C-alpha cells in the first residue's frame, strides 16, 4: 500500500447521480478515468473500486490529506500502474493489460460513477503466403494467396481490391488462427490488401503480385515447385480456415434459430 500526502484543498463542483462510460484501449496504452470533478472538497472521501467484487484500489481522504493506493490487491495486477490526480481524483491506469479490463466504480460523497474498460490485444501484421498456381480453360494463370493471422480474438480479417471489400471472416471471443484465401491473375494490375481490424485499430499488408507470385517456377500441371514442408503448412492453414468458416457459419445459424 502506498500513502501520498495531498497538498491541494479547494471547493468541489458537486455532481450527483449514477453515470456509465465505456472506454476501449489497446494493450500497453494508458487510460485515464475522469471524475468530472474540478477541485476537491475539504471533507470528501473518494474511493475507486474495481471488478464484480468491488475491490478497493484507491482511497482519498481529503480532510487528512491522505491518498492510499492499494496496488498489491488481486495478486498485484495493479502494482506500479495506478496514478491519481490530486486535484480531480481522476484515475490513470498505465501499461494496461487484459487483466485490467472490467468495471471501475468511483464513489464520493456526492457522486457515483461507473466506467467499463475493454482492452484489446495488439493486432498482428497479416502474413501472405503463396499457396499454388493454376490455369483456367482460357489459359489465364491465377495465383492463390493465403492471408493468415494467429492467436487473435474479436477481429475481422478481410481482403480488399482497392477500397472494395472482396471477402471477410470474423471471430468474436475465441483466440484462434484465421486464414483467408484470394485468387488473382498473374497480370492483374489492381491493388490488393489484407486487413485485420477490431473496433479501435487495424493492420494492413499489401499484396505485391510481382514479388509473391513470380518467384517460383510453375510446372505444366499448374502447381508451383515449393518445399514439401511449406506445402504441408499451407495445406494445414487452408484447412484451418475452412474449419473456422464452418464453425462461424454454424454459430450464426444457431443464433438465428434461438
Same domain, 77 and 137: no
* 86, 120, 154 - which closes a domain: 120
Same domain, 112 and 208: no
pLDDT (0 to 100) of residue 8: 34
Per-residue pLDDT of the chain (258 residues; tens, 9 = 90+): 554 444 333 323 333 334 479 999 999 999 999 998 888 877 889 999 999 999 999 999 998 889 999 999 999 999 999 999 988 999 999 999 999 999 999 998 888 999 999 999 889 999 999 876 655 555 678 889 999 999 888 899 999 999 999 999 998 867 788 899 999 988 889 999 999 999 899 999 999 988 888 754 444 334 444 444 444 444 555 555 555 544 444 455 455 445
Using CA atoms in the order 129, 132, 136, 139, what is the torsion angle rounded to 10 degrees? 100
The DSSP H or E segment spanning 238 is: helix 228-257
* 103, 120, 137 - which closes a domain: 120
Range of the domain at 106: 2-120
Same domain, 136 and 75: no
* 120, 147, 172 - which closes a domain: 120
Collapse the DSSP code of 231 into the 3-class scheme (helix H, G, I; strand E, B; otherwise coil) and give the result: helix
- The CATH number of residue 18's host domain is 2.60.40.10
Same domain, 134 and 188: yes
Q: In sequence order, what are the residues at sequence separation of 6 or more whose Cβ sits closer than 8 angstroms to the Cβ of residue 94?
A: 30, 80, 81, 82, 83
Q: In sequence order, what are the residues at sequence separation of 6 or more whose Cβ sits closer than 8 angstroms to the Cβ of residue 29?
A: 96
* Cβ atoms 144, 122 nearer than 8 A: no
What is the tally of structural domains in the chain? Answer: 2
pTM, to two decimals: 0.66
Same domain, 14 and 84: yes
pLDDT (0 to 100) of residue 238: 53
Give the pairing type, strands 141-152 and 155-161: unpaired
Same domain, 67 and 38: yes
Nearest to 144 by CA among 193, 192, 190, 181: 181
* Cβ atoms 258, 250 nearer than 8 A: no
Give the pairing type, strands 127-135 and 141-152: antiparallel
Same domain, 141 and 112: no
Pairs from 134-139 (Cβ < 8 Å, separation ≥ 24) = 134/183, 134/222, 134/223, 135/222
- The CATH number of residue 196's host domain is 2.60.40
Same domain, 52 and 31: yes
Give the pairing type, strands 45-50 and 2-5: unpaired
Amino acid at each position: 500500500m502506498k500513502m501520498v500526502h495531498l497538498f491541494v484543498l479547494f471547493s468541489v463542483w458537486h455532481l450527483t447521480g449514477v453515470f456509465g462510460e465505456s472506454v476501449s484501449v489497446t494493450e500497453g496504452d494508458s487510460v485515464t478515468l475522469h471524475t468530472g470533478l474540478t477541485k476537491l472538497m475539504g471533507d470528501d472521501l473518494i474511493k475507486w473500486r474495481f471488478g464484480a467484487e468491488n475491490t478497493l484500489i484507491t482511497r482519498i481522504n481529503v480532510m487528512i490529506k491522505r491518498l492510499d493506493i492499494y496496488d498489491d490487491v488481486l495478486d498485484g495486477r495493479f502494482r506500479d500502474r495506478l496514478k491519481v490526480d490530486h486535484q480531480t481524483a481522476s484515475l490513470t491506469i498505465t501499461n494496461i493489460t487484459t487483466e485490467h479490463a472490467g468495471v471501475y466504480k468511483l464513489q464520493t460523497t456526492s457522486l457515483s460513477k461507473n466506467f467499463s474498460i475493454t482492452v484489446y490485444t495488439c493486432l498482428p501484421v497479416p502474413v501472405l503466403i503463396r499457396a499454388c498456381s493454376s490455369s483456367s480453360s482460357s489459359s489465364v494463370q491465377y495465383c492463390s494467396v493465403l492471408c493468415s493471422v494467429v492467436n487473435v480474438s474479436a477481429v475481422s480479417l478481410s481482403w480488399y481490391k482497392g477500397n472494395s471489400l472482396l471477402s471477410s471472416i470474423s471471430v468474436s471471443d475465441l483466440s484462434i488462427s484465421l486464414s483467408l484465401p484470394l485468387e488473382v491473375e498473374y497480370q492483374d494490375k489492381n491493388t490488393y490488401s489484407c486487413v485485420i481490424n477490431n473496433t479501435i485499430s487495424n493492420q494492413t499488408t499489401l499484396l505485391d503480385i510481382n514479388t509473391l507470385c513470380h518467384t517460383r517456377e510453375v510446372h505444366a500441371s499448374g502447381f508451383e515447385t515449393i518445399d514439401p514442408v511449406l506445402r504441408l503448412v499451407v495445406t494445414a492453414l487452408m484447412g484451418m480456415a475452412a474449419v473456422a468458416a464452418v464453425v462461424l457459419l454454424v454459430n450464426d445459424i444457431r443464433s438465428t434459430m434461438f
